Amino acid sequence: MVNDKLHRYFHRGAMASLVLLIIWCVLWEMVLAPLHPGGSWVVLKAVPLLVPLYGVFKRDIYTLQWSSMMILLYFTEGVVRGYSDKGTMSAWLGWGEAAIVCVYFVCAVLYLRPYKKAAKRMAKELLDKVNRAK
């Protein structure tokens, strides 16, 4: 890796933002601005975020790839709630959710960038070998 320290920061940023997003969703739907007093079943939206948690902590490239796409659903929800729940605590929490998702997405993509470059380089080398053998 060209810059291992920076690479570690991207991994830590992805881990921290994923954990923060889980906590954010639970607090939002149970304490801060639940749809129904006392909490609601909407808190279950945090459960799918637990699935990639282990893989992200273990630096699994495949998990980081698919979770960076899956997490965009939470960005969509945050933006929709931010626009539709005007002037309420829920609106601010929606915008916060969207911001946390952006941090995760950027960190995950930047963490994966060196691996993608290496894979492209290896594929090109293999293709060159095949073409020379013809």
Query: Measured between alpha carbons, how far is 10 from 24 in angstroms, rounded to an integer?
Result: 20
Count CB-CB contacts under 10 A for residue 81.
Answer: 20
pLDDT of residue 1: 47
pLDDT of residue 4: 84
pLDDT of residue 3: 75
Q: Mean pLDDT across the chain, nearest whole number?
A: 91
Across residues 73-77, what is the average pLDDT?
97
pLDDT of residue 2: 52
Question: Which pTM does this prediction carry?
Answer: 0.87
pLDDT of residue 69: 96
Residues 6+ apart with CB under 8 A from 24: 93, 96, 97, 100
Q: pLDDT of 35-50, one tens digit each?
A: 778 777 888 999 999 9
